[in-house]
Structure 1
């Protein structure tokens, strides 16, 4: 089965999911590639439509064992026409629980034909120099695995005669899904006097939770705890306050040190 183009969709506030997606794309090695970064709020306002002769790759981070609730409206609006699709989840070396199964089921309802899935590890969003958790991942080994996965996806496509010959893939997970989709509403970010109001955190926030006039002000009702503003601050002016989030960062650092590797499903 030949495809005419590749659509790469990813949500990646801290860049880890983007790196995995780009590695997969290198392995697939398709000339016509459309990158769709739904981290940006304005992109999530646009509905995506795909065709049978395209390959769709959807990559999302795992939030508390689930697909981020923020993405559900956009995902459910996706309109596919028997499009061969790859579902990817990226988690912080703890567990991806039901996220891959949930993503698979959502994509199938939108008209996608799942040909493969994978779970990759990225640096935990709560990770810091003080409490490193899966620090530096995806690393060179992870990106090599991503390229290998992309090549295997391409090989599978070439082995399929037509869309009608795609069989279902089994991925781990339970239904009804466990975990939680409601995020904590906490005031957890401390801003020091090193902040220069450069605006990088404002531009990079995927939900517009940081005040456009004063980056010290954060709307905790909008915040999705991605920590992109902390990780991307060039002045290192943003840190976690003691409390619920800092405790979770400590647990992630202490309990999940054993390295987990990418897993593929075909």
Structure 2
């Protein structure tokens, strides 16, 4: 089957999903690649249309075992037409629960035909020096495996004549999906006096939640707990307050020490 181009869609506040999807694309090794990064609010105002002559790759982070709610909202506007698709979820070394099945189901309803699926590991958004969780992942091994997946996807495409030859891919998960795709509404970030008000966190926030008139604190009603503002701060001025989020980070740091490896379905 001949593919005219690759379209890479990612939601990646801290860069892990983007890094993984680009590594998979390198393994596929196509000359025409378009990256559609929907992390920023303005990017999510654009609707995506694809055809059966394109290969669509979609990578999203796992939030409490689900696809993030704002990503679901955008994905439900996708218009595909029998588009071969790679479904990728990235999680912080705990579990991906129902997220991969949910992503697959959403994309099928939009006209996509999954040709491969993957659950990969990225550094947890709650990870810090104090509470390390899958630090520096994806690492070199993860990215090598992602490229190998890309090569296998390319081999699969070459082995079939059309999307009609793509059989269903079974992935783990439960339906109805467990939990809630929406994150907690909680005030959990402290800002020290080392904050220089440089605005880096404002640019990094995927939901425009940083309040410039309130000492660069996030609006808890908008905040999705991605911690991009903490991780990107050049002054290390933002930290987690004592409370439910930090307690969760401590618990995950203790319970998720054993390294998990990417899982591929093809």
SS in 2 for 1:79: coil
Partner of 1:252: 252
Separation (CA, whole Å) in 1 of partners of 2:185 and 2:213? 22
Q: Is the 8 A contact 2:186 2:220 kept in 1?
A: yes
Separation (CA, whole Å) in 2 of partners of 1:164 and 1:11? 29
Shift of residue 70, structure 1, vs aligned partner: 1.0
Deviations 1:39-73 (CA, angstroms, capped at 9, x unpaired):
01101011000011000000000000000011111
TM-score for the superposition, normalised by structure 1:
0.98
RMSD value, Cα: 0.8
Give unpaired runs (5+ residues) of structure 1: none
Shift of residue 179, structure 1, vs aligned partner: 2.1
Over 3 Å counting, the alpha-carbon distance change for 1:215 and 1:155 in structure 2 is farther
Partner of 2:109: 109
Q: How many residues align?
A: 266
Give unpaired runs (5+ residues) of structure 2: none
Find runs of 4+ consecutive structure 1 residues off by over 3 angstroms. Answer: 212-215
Separation (CA, whole Å) in 2 of partners of 1:34 and 1:213? 37
SS in 2 for 1:89: strand
Partner of 2:184: 184
Q: Is the 8 A contact 1:199 1:215 kept in 2?
A: no
Partner of 2:18: 18
Deviates more, 1:177-186 or 1:230-239: 177-186
Separation (CA, whole Å) in 2 of partners of 1:211 and 1:31? 42
Separation (CA, whole Å) in 2 of partners of 1:46 and 1:71? 13
Partner of 1:132: 132
TM-score for the superposition, normalised by structure 2:
0.98
Shift of residue 165, structure 1, vs aligned partner: 1.1
SS in 1 for 2:216: coil
Partner of 2:150: 150
Partner of 2:120: 120
